[in-house]
Amino acid sequence: MRCNNCGWENPDGNQKCEKCNAPLQCGAGNQKVNVNSTILESEPFEPKKPLDETIEETIKDSANPKRQPTAQTVDLGGTINPYAGMGAYTPIPRCVLKPVIFPGEDPRYAPQGINLKGDYNELNRQILDPDNNTITSKVQATLTNKNGKWYVENQSAQKTTYVYAGEPIEIKSGDIILMGNRTFIFEED
């Protein structure tokens, strides 16, 4: 039985090639089966070429304008379009939460606007105002975008996110949201 890996002629009954140790398989009785790493003895053997030789031949073939495509042509890869088959481009929803300055608060030390993007955003102290202990360090509220509309939903145990409603409520640019003792003006980007 000839090895598909190196071409070595092995005695019948061997499980592995004597030369390269590749597994050999044969069918029932004396019938030789071409499975995985074996070749029928009646088939001519062509040892596998190293990949670099195959690539060089493919490059030479591609430079020849009269070349005929063969089954031995190797796909060298290429850039895959990540948007192929995805349909129309859908923009990522974005918004900004702008903190309102407290009376007498120095604007240099006030939190800056928070840019949010995506369909789902969790809001907490670290994101909104790291020094404000009236905002929970867990999830204070969630801000979601559904079908182009923004919704805010309270998540705090103390129910300190306002506009308070029993279910998600749509918000629009110019709406004011109170979280803890800090108010934010919502503006759609």
Residue 99 lies in a domain: yes
- pLDDT for res 122: 94
> Measured at the alpha carbon of residue 89, what is the angle toward residues 86 and 186, in degrees to the nearest 5?
135
Residue 115 lies in a domain: yes
CATH of the domain at 98: 2.60.200.20
**CA-CA-CA-CA dihedral for 124, 130, 132, 138, to nearest 10:** 30
Residue 11 lies in a domain: no
- pLDDT for res 143: 94
Question: Which structural domain, as residue segments, surrounds residue 175?
Answer: 94-188
Nearest one of 155, 161, 153, 163 to 180, comparing CA atoms? 161
| Burial label, 80 (beta-carbon count in 10 A; 0-12, 13-18, 19+) | exposed
- pLDDT for res 28: 42
Residue 76 lies in a domain: no
Model's pTM, two decimal places?
A: 0.44
Is residue 96 within 8 Å of residue 174, measured between CB atoms? no
Domain count of the fold of the chain: 1
Residue 71 lies in a domain: no
Residue 22 lies in a domain: no
- pLDDT for res 85: 60
3-state secondary structure of 116: strand
User: Per residue of the chain (189 residues), what is the pLDDT tens digit?
Assistant: 788 777 788 888 888 888 878 888 654 444 444 444 455 555 555 555 555 565 566 556 555 555 555 555 545 556 766 666 666 677 889 999 988 888 888 888 888 889 999 999 999 999 998 888 889 999 999 999 998 899 888 898 887 777 655 688 888 898 888 887 788 889 988
Residue 56 lies in a domain: no
Residue 133 lies in a domain: yes
- pLDDT for res 167: 80
